[in-house]
A = this chain, B = another copy of it.
């Protein structure tokens, strides 16, 4: 079933580019009709989707994928319906394209306006979750962008059937089906080629860990927004409410360990280490979390707790576990916590637990990340929570988009300037 026939990625991208000029000028009603068609088709073709997904799941089990990864891969009927609902919700939102984001009459009397326009062709590179195929394609239809989908090999059949469904629905709504490009190849070389297509690809969004990011840093000639990994920290300050701190640390780790906004390291101020660490270690262990702790932590744990933890190596502080594992360290000061985060953090989500106003201000100012939390779990970094609607990823870089990326982040602007024979 797996198609590994030679794929002309350049032609696919060029087709997406040509189609993007049609999509860019399509009226909102037609784009929303395409979204409605996608939702209907998903619901009608549940059995087919589930059948393809079952093959991916079986292969994944055979390959020994972790339970967390298998859970991300799974497409049950309910999840497909959830995807369809998400697409319908997106159809109901206002069209970002054509919005006038600013303007003025210039001193010279020119009428200046800045309009929101599509980017053109957006390539999304993603891993296990096949729902990204639909979510990302729907966001691109809404924002008038062609999309090139390059999913992970483990979800290949699921992604393929979903992208077919989406492309057919788009075509049924009288938009070019080349707007939806599916990279029907697991070949890394094809991905490399895609990253060099500066003539036709306007943006690549890699959704994956630091390894994928490094591959792109080396290879990409096209513009990239890294929706990269989150090595997120919870720092429990000297001024923390320790009950809050336990709840936040546990939630940030165990609520959904496989996602990027979950915490990977717990930092604790030395002045509360003795009171806090035995409490939180009990809770984390009760939730099945494997712990890598430093010597200072061991020194304040009860004897039977010490037996339940491992010694932290530097690598643990640098790892995004994406699993029920956590590194723990004691710091002598807020400044030391900030230094640790500056060194090991990936600029995603960082939290301080404190009732001390000055400490919270210092942490918020000094930590350089997309989202900084005071007395809340890092798990809240999410487009829906932030009120952006659906998201195509969470940017950990500073250009163009930082934090959850919604429809607006999938657009650019164009200045339109009208004169009456104006010259300089």
> A residues engaging B (CB < 8 A)?
21, 25, 104, 106-108, 110, 112, 114, 117, 119-120, 198, 202-203, 217-218, 221, 223, 225, 241, 243-244, 247-248, 250-252, 255, 360, 364-366, 368-377, 379-381, 385-387, 397-400, 402-403, 412-424
Contact = CB atoms under 8 A, between A and B. Distances in A.
Given A104-B387, A106-B385, A373 B417 contact: yes
A419 B203 contact: no
A225 B117 CA distance: 18
Given A371-B415, A415-B370, A399 B25 contact: no
Contact of A423 (B119, B247, B364, B420): B247
Contacts of A365: 25
Main SS class of interface, A: mixed
Nearest to A419: B376
Nearest to A409: B399
Which of A250, A251, A403, A414 is most buried by chain B, counting CB atoms within 10 A of its CB?
A: A414
Contact of A202 (B106, B398, B419, B421): B398
Given A372-B417, A417-B373, A366 B106 contact: no
26 contacts: A25-B365, A104-B387, A106-B386, A108-B380, A108-B385, A120-B368, A202-B398, A203-B398, A248-B423, A250-B423, A360-B418, A364-B416, A370-B414, A372-B414, A373-B417, A375-B421, A376-B417, A376-B421, A377-B423, A381-B415, A398-B412, A399-B399, A399-B400, A400-B400, A402-B412, A403-B415
B380 A422 contact: yes
